[in-house]
């Protein structure tokens, strides 16, 4: 175990340099050219750091970033197959680096995408290197890299589901939650409610018009009333749009709704609430669009076993970790819905996802790479079963 820690301590400067170079490859979700260039950089860097994969596939993402799947053979007598999920896209637009370059202040490294989630990929790559150097067994590793996670993984979801299906465990190197690993995530639904009324002159013919805004306002009250925070269910109407002028009865209105649920029962209840929505006025119309973006990731027995192995790995390195449940979703939700054991939040220790103060702890990066190296070794010895 000391060999892993010592190797990573010696590699600190190179790990920081790798993360810096990766952050400087700007990869906004909505820029295909930048995503393609970023993935090309990542692919070359992976070849330099952990060698060429035994097999690889690249799936065209269409209007989204491509998905790269790289299979690395087991080594050191290791058994089984583990999927590792990382996304290479970020929420930051092209040119962000001009006003916010990578900066290091003591243990903190800041830069667009550092926390969410470029440090995670750097950590798993150096975990593999450290495990090899220490002579630990490694399972076959299937590295899945997608470029559309920040937009809901519309193109990569079927690829992820297909590629993890024959794996023993799934490790997600998304950022930690205040240092905690994530063993449960809420399911997420994104819905659009549209109401249609009848336009009319609000002053001359106030009784002839049918207000779509009046209808949507009643819907908002109903939806917010359906939240049950004690049960882990939040419902938020985040945007409202409607009408044309103050003196015209609104003919159209829309509401965008974000829903988070902690279990399938609550998801079914919210489905019922949405299906029951109806206009108050007989001449008004109401339509619900959208759907569930990610299924619930519940803490299964398999996930509990993965966390226990990670706890053992941390203890062997002289540290400790904890687990938590979070409201945000990730690609791990897709794998968990297939019944696979999933351990999420194995990436950076830091804060500020999607925020200008986004930062990671360099010491945390080394520590978590060490934990990942030992965890992979345990999984190679049948720990996931």
Q: What positions carry a catalytic annotation? A: 89, 149
Which whole-number Å values give the CA distances from 94 to 43, 98, 277, 282, 321, in the listed order? 20, 9, 41, 49, 35
CA 112 to chain centre: 16
Closest to 157 in 3D by CA, of 85, 225, 107: 85
Q: In terms of DSSP H, where are the helices of 167-259? A: 212-225
Output the DSSP codes for 278-323. Answer: --SSTT-EEEEEEEEEE--B---HHHHHHHHHHHHHHHHTT----E
DSSP secondary structure string for all residues of 21-74 = HHHTS--BTT-HHHHHHHHHHHHHHHHHHH---SEEEEE--TTS--EEEEEE--
């Amino acid at each position: 175990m000391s060999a892993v820690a010592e190797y990573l301590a010696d590699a600190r400067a190179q790990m920081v340099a790798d993360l810096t170079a990766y952050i400087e490859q700007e990869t906004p979700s909505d820029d295909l050219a930048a995503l393609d260039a970023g993935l090309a950089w990542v692919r070359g860097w992976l070849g330099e750091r952990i060698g060429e994969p035994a097999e690889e596939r690249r799936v065209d993402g269409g209007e989204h970033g491509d998905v790269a799947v790289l299979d690395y053979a087991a080594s050191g007598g290791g058994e089984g197959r583990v999927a590792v999920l990382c996304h290479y896209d970020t929420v930051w637009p092209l040119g962000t680096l001009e006003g916010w370059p990578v900066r290091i202040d003591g243990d903190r490294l800041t830069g667009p995408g550092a926390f969410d989630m470029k440090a995670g990929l750097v950590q798993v790559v150096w975990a593999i290197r450290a495990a090899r150097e220490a002579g630990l067994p490694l399972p076959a590793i299937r590295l899945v890299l997608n470029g559309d996670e920040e937009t809901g993984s519309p193109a990569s979801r079927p690829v992820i589901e297909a590629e993890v299906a024959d794996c023993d465990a799934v490790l997600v190197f998304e950022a930690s939650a205040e240092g905690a690993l994530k063993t449960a995530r809420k399911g997420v639904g994104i819905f659009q409610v549209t109401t249609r009324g009848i336009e009319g002159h609000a002053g001359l013919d106030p009784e002839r018009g049918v207000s779509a805004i009046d209808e949507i306002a009643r819907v908002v009250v109903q939806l917010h009333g359906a939240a049950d925070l004690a049960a882990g269910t939040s419902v938020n109407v985040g945007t409202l749009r409607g009408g044309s002028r103050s003196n015209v009865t609104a003919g159209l209105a829309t509401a965008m709704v974000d829903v988070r649920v902690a279990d399938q029962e609550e998801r079914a209840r919210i489905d019922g609430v949405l299906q029951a929505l109806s206009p108050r006025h007989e001449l008004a119309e109401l339509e619900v669009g959208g759907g569930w973006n990610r299924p619930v990731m519940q803490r299964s027995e398999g996930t509990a076993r993965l966390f226990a192995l990670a706890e053992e790995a941390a203890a062997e390195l002289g540290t400790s970790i904890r687990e938590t449940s979070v409201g945000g979703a990730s690609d791990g939700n897709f794998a968990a819905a297939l019944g696979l054991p999933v351990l999420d939040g194995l990436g950076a220790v830091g804060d500020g996802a999607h925020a200008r103060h986004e930062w990671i702890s360099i010491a945390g990066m080394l520590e978590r790479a060490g934990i990942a190296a030992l965890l992979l070794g345990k999984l190679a010895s049948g720990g996931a079963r």
